[in-house]
Amino acid sequence: MTAISEAVILMAGEGSRLRHGYGGQARLRGSDKTFLKPFVPVRGRPLISYTLDALLHGGIRTVNFVVGYESERMIAQVKQLVSSGLSASFIENRDWRKQNGVSLLAAAGRVANPFVLTMSDHIFDNPIIDRLVDSFAPGFLNIAVDRKLDSIFDFEDAMKVRTRGNRVTDIGKKLRDYDAIDIGLFVCPLEIFDYLERAKSGSGQSDCSLADGVRLMARDNKVRAIDIGESWWQDVDTPQMLQHAEKQMAKGMRSALT
Confidence of residue 252 (pLDDT cuts 50, 70, 90): confident
- Residue range 119-147: mean pLDDT, rounded: 96
Q: Is residue 257 part of a domain?
A: no
- Rounded to whole angstroms, how far apart are CA atoms 5 and 24? 38
Q: Tell me whether strands 180-188 and 141-146 are parallel, antiparallel or unpaired.
A: antiparallel
Q: Is a pLDDT exceeding 60 seen at residue 86?
A: yes
Q: Is residue 110 part of a domain?
A: yes
What CATH number should be reported for the domain holding residue 178? 3.90.550.10
* Structural domains counted in the chain: 1
- The contacts of residue 146 (CB under 8 Å, 6+ apart) are 152, 180, 181, 183, 227, 228, 233
- Rounded to whole angstroms, how far apart are CA atoms 230 and 220? 29
Determine the pLDDT at residue 29: 46
Determine the pLDDT at residue 148: 97
Q: Residue 148 belongs to what domain range?
A: 6-250
Q: Is residue 179 part of a domain?
A: yes
Burial class of residue 164 in the structure, from the number of CB atoms within 10 Å of its CB (0-12 exposed, 13-18 middle, 19+ buried): exposed
Alpha helices in 82-225 (DSSP H): 100-105, 127-134, 191-202, 210-219
Residues pairing with 46 in the sheet: 41
- Residue range 124-149: mean pLDDT, rounded: 97
Q: Is residue 198 part of a domain?
A: yes
Determine the pLDDT at residue 27: 52
Determine the pLDDT at residue 225: 99
Q: Is residue 58 part of a domain?
A: yes
Determine the pLDDT at residue 116: 99
Q: Does residue 16 or residue 187 have the better pLDDT?
A: 187
- Rounded to whole angstroms, how far apart are CA atoms 216 and 111? 21
Q: What is the pLDDT of residues 149-176, one digit of tens each?
A: 999 998 988 999 999 999 999 999 999 9
Q: What is the pLDDT of residues 18-72, one digit of tens each?
A: 876 655 454 554 444 578 999 999 999 999 999 999 999 999 999 999 999 999 9
pTM for the structure as a whole: 0.93
Q: Is residue 49 part of a domain?
A: yes
Q: Is a pLDDT exceeding 50 seen at residue 258?
A: no
Q: Does residue 106 or residue 30 have the better pLDDT?
A: 106
Q: Is residue 104 part of a domain?
A: yes
